[in-house]
């Protein structure tokens, strides 16, 4: 006959107890490369006054895919990044440098919705 292990009365088997005294506020996380890339792409596209469908059509990607890239939820291949960069009339090198500069200057307290200002210099 199998014996069961008794559970303390305050702990649900579906939701274990958490020591709330050990919890600390989580520090602001560093933005991911794909998130900053997306901010740069969106900033460049909006600076040109283009719709997603216009830029996506020239890049050979669907508007949905470009939207996912801009929102930082898609991990695009280098070929996709190059296609979108070309559609926005920037080189892959310049776009990569803009993303790297933005990451370098990102402060832990910076908001996630910050615009990739280095990308604006590319289009100027």
Q: Could you list the mean pLDDT of each consecutive 10-residue stretch along the chain, which spans 124 residues?
A: 54 53 62 94 97 97 97 95 97 94 74 54 62
Whether 30 and 108 have beta carbons less than 8 Å apart is answered as: yes
Q: How far apart are CA 6 and CA 109, in angstroms?
A: 45
Q: What is the pLDDT of residue 14?
A: 60
Note whether residue 6 is domain-resident.
Answer: no
pLDDT at residue 106, rounded to an integer: 76
| Model pLDDT, residue 5 | 55
Q: How far apart are CA 118 and CA 95, in angstroms?
A: 9
Residue 41: give its domain's CATH number. Answer: 1.10.260.40
Residue 28 lies in a domain: no
CB 53 within 8 A of CB 94: no
The answer to whether residue 119 is domain-embedded is yes
pLDDT at position 86, please? 97
Q: Is residue 9 part of a domain?
A: no
- The pLDDT assigned to 30 comes to 83
Asked whether residue 25 is domain-assigned, the answer is no
The Cα-based distances of 85 to 4, 38, 41, 110 in angstroms read 61, 11, 8, 25
Q: Which domain holds residue 43?
A: 33-123
pTM of the predicted structure, to 2 decimals: 0.67
> Does some domain include residue 113?
yes
pLDDT at 74: 92
pLDDT of residue 108: 57
18, part of any domain: no
What is the number of helices (H) and of strands (E) in the chain?
A: 6, 0
pLDDT of residue 107: 61
pLDDT computed for residue 56 by the predictor = 98
Whether residue 89 lies inside any domain: the answer is yes
- Domains contained in the chain, number: 1
Side-chain half-sphere CA neighbours of 22 within 13 A: 3
The tokens for 107 are 């402060």
Q: Which of 58, 50, 53 is nearest to 84 (CA)?
A: 58
């Amino acid at each position: 006959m199998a014996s069961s292990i008794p559970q303390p009365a305050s702990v649900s088997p579906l939701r274990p107890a958490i020591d709330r005294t050990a919890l600390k506020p989580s520090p602001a996380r560093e933005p991911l490369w794909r998130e900053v890339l997306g901010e740069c792409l969106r900033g460049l596209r909006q600076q040109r006054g283009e719709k997603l469908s216009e830029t996506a059509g020239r890049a050979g990607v669907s508007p949905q895919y470009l939207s996912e890239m801009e929102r930082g939820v898609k991990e695009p291949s280098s070929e996709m990044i190059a296609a979108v960069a070309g559609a926005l009339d920037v080189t892959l090198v310049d776009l990569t440098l803009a993303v790297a500069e933005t990451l370098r200057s990102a402060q832990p307290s910076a908001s996630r919705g910050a615009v990739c200002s280095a990308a604006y210099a590319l289009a100027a």
